[in-house]
Amino acid sequence: MINDFDFFLPVKIIFGAGKFNQAGKEAANLGEKALIVTGRRSAEKSGLLSRLTAQLDRQGMEWVHFNKVDPNPTDLIIDQGAAIARRENCDLVIGLGGGSAIDAAKSIAVAAESGLPIWRHIASWENDYIAPAGALPIMAIETLAGTSTESNNLSVVTRVKSNEKPGYACSFIFPKTAIIDPEVMVTVSPKMTAITGFDILCHSFEGYVSKIAHPIASILNEKAIESVVNNLPKAVNDGSDLEARAQLAFANILAGFSLTHSRATLLHAMEHPLSGHFNITHAEGLAALFPRWLEFSWEGNPEKFKYLGKVFGLADSDNNKHNLLEKAGDFLKKIGLDVSLSELGVDLNNAGRLIDDALLYMAGGVKNNPVAAGKDEIFQLLKASL
């Protein structure tokens, strides 16, 4: 019997080599003056910013460039961007870049619409919370295959005051249009390719084993998992492999569907406080936690964990927890992400706060995990991952 479900995904997705060249035309359908949100240097260095602004100019659109976004976008930067969007009367926000730029664009669109600091719209330890009531239209132009933010209703914000790093969801931050062009990804470095690609795998597999796994998303997750396992090492070794890039970009879209409907699990719930407090790269934190999370969560849904073993190449007779852990370790080595938390600069001197944060603003992920985890279990998993 198929469980009851809802499915909602109002994103116009434009996918394919060369589709970046449609950005101006698509933007003109959404607004008249755009705030372009990017990282500090990459969009300019790659030439993508000038290519985009030339297209906007041809469409007769005005634009303003905001290039203050760091890898873990903060509430203060988002509030700066929102203030510029309001001052300049922007009616469209374009996120150009990887997950950080697009996540920031989403939150800027919320704060620009409300006129309030973004943190008022995020549940926190200390917060007079106000649910988002709208957002400026958002366009996502993905230049890195990772985070899946171009196809979901989520955004992540780090609060400077407390180092909290929650994700939040609302229907207003689905991008109106997302452009995914594998051609613009061929110059991404091997390390960044590995980092963003592994995030796709975690999003897909966590959604696959989640307690609220969505029946449509689960089918799509299988495709995404296979695409990442089979193509990420190829893209890491040869960034010009356009087919591998396209497969990863496609998997990233599918993972966004999963995040929208099935959400993440304990793995993401443990990592967000780590990158919030230690400012580590998100997917490197996931990689450090991944083996111990697999080991801990296996018993909650062995058949679905065996699916990952099958994709890794395990025969049915050898498909068990021990061999899955070995294969997962081999995969991490192959893509250069066999790291420990201590190698990333993490310590557990403030473990209580890390655990409390996970149980507060990442509580949904904790609850979704195949095996229940409380404070003691989370501490042991963090300790084992050092």
CATH code assigned at 109: 3.40.50.1970
Q: What is the C-alpha to C-alpha distance for residues 173 and 10, in angstroms, rounded to an integer?
A: 10
DSSP 263: -
For residue 319, give its domain range. Answer: 190-384
Q: Does 136 share its domain with 197?
A: no
* Cβ contacts of 233 within 8 Å, gap of 6 or more: 331, 334, 335
Q: What is the C-alpha to C-alpha distance for residues 15 and 52, in angstroms, rounded to an integer?
A: 17
DSSP 153: S
The number of residues making up the chain comes to: 386
| Residue ending a domain, choose from 135, 155, 185 | 185
Q: Does 242 share its domain with 169?
A: no
Tell me if 110 sits within 8 A of 172, measured CB to CB.
yes
Q: What is the C-alpha to C-alpha distance for residues 178 and 169, in angstroms, rounded to an integer?
A: 18
Residue 327 belongs to some domain of the structure: yes
Domains: count for the chain? 2
How many CA atoms within 13 Å lie on the side-chain side of 71?
A: 14
Q: Sheet holding 12-15: strands in order across? A: 12-15, 177-180, 138-142, 92-97, 33-39, 62-69
Which CATH number characterizes residue 346's domain? 1.20.1090.10
| Residue ending a domain, choose from 151, 185, 219 | 185
Q: Does 23 share its domain with 105?
A: yes
Residue 6 belongs to some domain of the structure: no
Residue 5 belongs to some domain of the structure: no
Q: pLDDT tens track of the chain, all 386 residues?
A: 677 888 888 999 999 999 999 999 999 999 999 999 999 988 999 999 999 999 999 999 999 999 999 988 999 999 999 999 999 999 999 999 999 999 999 999 999 999 999 999 986 656 678 888 999 999 999 999 888 999 999 999 999 998 989 988 999 999 999 999 999 999 999 999 999 999 999 999 999 999 999 999 999 999 999 999 999 999 999 999 999 999 999 999 999 998 999 999 999 999 999 999 999 999 999 999 999 999 999 999 999 999 999 999 999 999 999 999 999 999 999 999 999 999 999 999 999 999 999 999 899 999 999 999 999 999 999 999 99
| Residue ending a domain, choose from 163, 185, 207 | 185
Q: Does 59 share its domain with 200?
A: no
Q: Name the helix (H) or strand (E) containing 33.
A: strand 33-39
- Output the pTM of the full model: 0.94
pLDDT at 281: 94
pLDDT at 125: 56
Report the phi/psi class of residue 372: left, alpha or beta, with left for phi > 0 and alpha for psi in -120 to 50: beta
Residue 274 belongs to some domain of the structure: yes
Residue 172 belongs to some domain of the structure: yes
Q: Read off the tokens for 308.
A: 């990952």
Q: Read off the tokens for 266.
A: 């304990």
